[in-house]
Structure formats: C-alpha cells, structure tokens
Amino acid sequence: MGESAAGMDLVSRQRRQLLPSSAYQTMVWALVVVLVVGPLAPLVYTSLRSQPYYLPGSVWTFEPYRTLFADPLFWEAVKNTLIFAALTTVGSVTVGTAFAVLTVRTDLPGRKWIPWLLVSPIVIPPRVAKSKPTLLIPSARWAVSSAPSIRGILRRETVRRRREKLRLAPDRCHSGSTAPSSFVDSRLRRDVLGG
C-alpha cells in the first residue's frame, strides 16, 4: 500500500512541475507559444485556401496538399531528407562516441583540447574561419603570407584568358584586323582589374 501511495505522489509532483508555478512563468510560456505558433497560423490558413488570403472569393480546399503529395519531386526531397538525417545522425553519434571515449577513458596527449576543437566550428562563425585563418592560428601567419595567393593565381589566369580572347576579337574601329594592345589592356583593366 505504501509503494502505490509513493508512486501516486511522484506522479502528482511530476504533473505539478509541468504546470507553470507563477504568473511570470505563465506569461513566458504564453509568449513562447505566440512567437512560435503566431507565424505558422497564417501559413496554415493560406495553405487551406484556394487563393491568397488578401484576394476575395477564395474557398476552403485541400487541393494544394493533393498537388504537393502527388508530385514525385516532393517525395524525392522527403527521401533525400530522411537519408541525410539518418546518415548525419549515425555519423555524429559515431564520431561523438569515439571522441568521448578518447577524451575520458584514455591518456591521449592533448585530450583536454579535443572538446574545445570539436566545439570550435559551432563557436567560431564560418565567415571568420574562412576569411581570417591567421586570426585563429597566429603561428600559421607566416605560411599564409608566404604561400602564393590563390586569388592572385586565378586573377592572372583570368587576365591571360581574356587577353587571348580580346586579341582574337576584331577591333570595332578597324574591321577585320585584330585589336591593338592598348585596346586589350584598357578592356582588361576595366573587366578584370576593376580599373
């Protein structure tokens, strides 16, 4: 008899924890519900109408959903999404478990840095990581500054191709002749170098 009373007490305590305990908590919950459901309500309303909500003469219909579910591209997207979600989940759990075991159960050198390295892609915005690698790794500044610039290599290749293309293009002033080098250089400065 004592076990069932204790079990009932636990259930009633859990129910009380789910309910807001103060007016402030109730207002926060109400605000969250309004901010989450609020933007979805017009979308659901409009999806069940034959025309957009601002046009007169629309009727209630499930035709947009019939059209959507009959489209094979929709089901292809659903399949791709489910495959991607499953593979990402399996991969993340596998890698996460492996690194958790390595950092907690082994004497791996530098194991205190592994959690920080794993969280860094989330903490560091991708734009910063992409554009300023020397800010992230100051000791690698020499490698970045001494390596040839990919942008410079691409720009030189672009200039070479454009110069070749312009040399073969007929000049607008002299029909049938090739463009003079001053014309080629001025076009290159304007098109490629922005000058």
Neighbours of 103 (CB within 10 A): 16
Q: Rounded mean pLDDT of 85-110?
A: 90
Farthest-apart Cα atoms in the chain, separation: 108
Question: Of 41, 61, 81, at which residue does a domain stop?
Answer: 61
At residue 126's C-alpha, the angle toward residues 121 and 130, to 5°, is: 115
Q: What is the pLDDT of residue 8?
A: 62
**Domain finish residue from 61, 95, 112:** 61
State the pLDDT at residue 66: 93
pLDDT confidence of residue 94: 96
State residue 174's pLDDT score.
47
In which domain, by residue range, is 178 found? 150-191
Q: Is the pLDDT of residue 75 over 90?
A: yes
- 172 inside domain: yes
Residue 119 lies in a domain: no
When pLDDT is averaged across residues 118-138 and rounded to a whole number, the result is: 66
* Domain edge (last residue) among 61, 79, 108: 61
pLDDT in tens, 149-188: 555 555 666 667 766 766 665 544 444 445 455 555 565 5
